[in-house]
Structure 1
Amino acid sequence: MAHHGYLELEGGHQMIEFIVKQCSLPNDPPGKRSPDPEYVSNQALRLMCDNVLQLLATTVEEMEPVLWPFLLEMIEPEQYTEAGCVVCKCLAHLANKKREEKAEDYNLDYDVLANTPKPNVMIARLMVLAGCPKNNRDRGIHVLQLMKGMSPNLNDNLVELWDTVIPKLTQYLEDAGKEDSWSQKNWEDLALKVKMIILE
């Protein structure tokens, strides 16, 4: 469907939103497994939809106008928090690609895009998501990469700061994952320093 341009037609955004809803499914209750041999668990469905969304964003060029900037609308609503990892991963790929290529559709007009969260809302939401980087299938690195890719669209004063700081924070998360020595307290201290710099 995507390769043949069907999702670019009316209803394409509803299809993407449906996939994101499946990416947001909670885990099945523990100890309750259906006897139906064809039963698909929430975890399995969620993983499949994560993969579908990621493939659409990274391998189907025709999907870029459908996903960008529409997927940004999925960042703020609480009901999509569980999908934060895959949504940020897809958006980070698109934002960084468009920023590097200086794509014509990279810069966002928030007056025209009425449903897209405004920059101050987006900054606050991304900082909250980054505050617990191990949640929602280790979303932290993807949230940070989205922050870096989006910075010119959020605030010109953030561009140099985030271009410098975010790779260091990303490296911290990668190193902590390898060493299996995660400290939420240390991370919160680092995130607080970044917030204080932003507020200055």
Structure 2
Amino acid sequence: MCRNILNAFSSTIAGMEEVLWPLLMEFLIPEMYTGAFGMITKALAQSGQQQIAAKKDSFWVDFDLLVNLPKPNEIIARCFVLLGEPLVEESRGVSILNFLRIAVTELQGDLRELWEKVIPRLLQNLTDDDENKKFDSTNWQDLILKFLSKSLDVIEREDWISDIGACFVKQLPLYLKLERERGFAYKCIGIVLRKSKMNEFVSRTLESMITTINFHHENERNGWATMFGFCSTTHLDIVLQRLDMYLKLGDSKSSSSTSSGSGGGGLFGFLSSKTDTHSDLS
């Protein structure tokens, strides 16, 4: 019902587009609205398109003045992660892509040329009517990661790259109950770290990752490993240093867990539980 009402507001009621755009952007970040993200971005895309067609000045968004709105990089990061699972809400991916295509001038104008070129191709992947063609989730995520990588190449400013990377990291708690989305978020972080030339930012981000991962979830575990793989292509020394630190910390935690008779959490608790299982079978 809410979906139908919002769709009616954004597409049929005169003047409503000036209310919904950019008001609905306030609901893009909070975790409680994740399940309605496709519906919200669809309404935003419709409202934005109507204002562009009518050449209304109300389309332009002053994010500094409208303090309740999330910042552009926060919106971009949120959209890219949820694009990793485009078939949720039936067509969440289509709604997000249409929104990004409309909002690009407000989010980051320098990306307009790239996004206008790439987004129609991505939409074609999601709107293919061939019933015999099974959706390839792995291939789709690869396309989105390439899309993110090319977007970072266009801007090529270290302050912007580190800021959007920080947004991806900050939003990780939004996906605690969404294993697939959280796993893809790690991959996005890996792409950002690979592009960054700020060693301190890369090192600090990798250091923070050890406390965020739940290795009992396969998608999250694979995404975390992929993040390190992406990062190692340009920051191998930093990755090796961090992994060495994790191993040393793991030895310490393992010794502590053994003496106390209890397993730890995170990576080392996971490895410890695996070791115990194999011991029981031997």
The answer to whether structure 1 residue 118 and structure 2 residue 71 are counterparts is yes
Paired with 1:123 and 1:64, the residues of 2 have a C-alpha distance of: 21
1:154 matches 2:107: yes
Choose the corresponding residue for 1:96, options 46, 49, 58: 49
Q: 1:177 to 1:184 in 2, by over 3 A?
A: farther
Q: Percent identity?
A: 39
RMSD over aligned CA atoms reads: 1.5
CA distance in 2, matches of 1:177, 1:143: 22
TM-score, length-normalised on structure 2? 0.52
Partners of 2:17 and 2:50 within 8 A in 1: no
How many residues end up aligned between the 2 structures? Answer: 153
Q: Per residue, is there more helix in 1 or in 2?
A: 2
CA deviation after TM superposition for structure 1 residue 189, in Å: 0.7
Q: How does 1:77-92 map to 2 (within 5 A)?
A: 77-92=30-45
Residue pair 1:176, 1:182 contacting (<8 A) in 2 also: no
Unaligned runs of 5+ in 2: 154-282
The corresponding residue for 2:126 is 173
Retained in 1: the 8 A contact 2:17–2:48? no
Runs of at least 5 residues in structure 1 that lack an aligned partner in the other structure: 1-47
Q: Give the whole-Å Cα distance in 1 for the aligned partners of 2:113 and 2:61.
A: 19
Shift of 1:101: 3.4
User: Which of structure 1's runs of 4+ aligned residues deviate more than 6 A?
Assistant: none
Offset, 1:116: 0.7
Of 143, 146, 149, the match for 1:193? 146
Structure having greater relative contact order (Cα 8 Å, sep ≥ 6) = 1
How far did 1:98 drift? 2.0
Does 100-109 or 186-195 show the bigger shift? Answer: 100-109
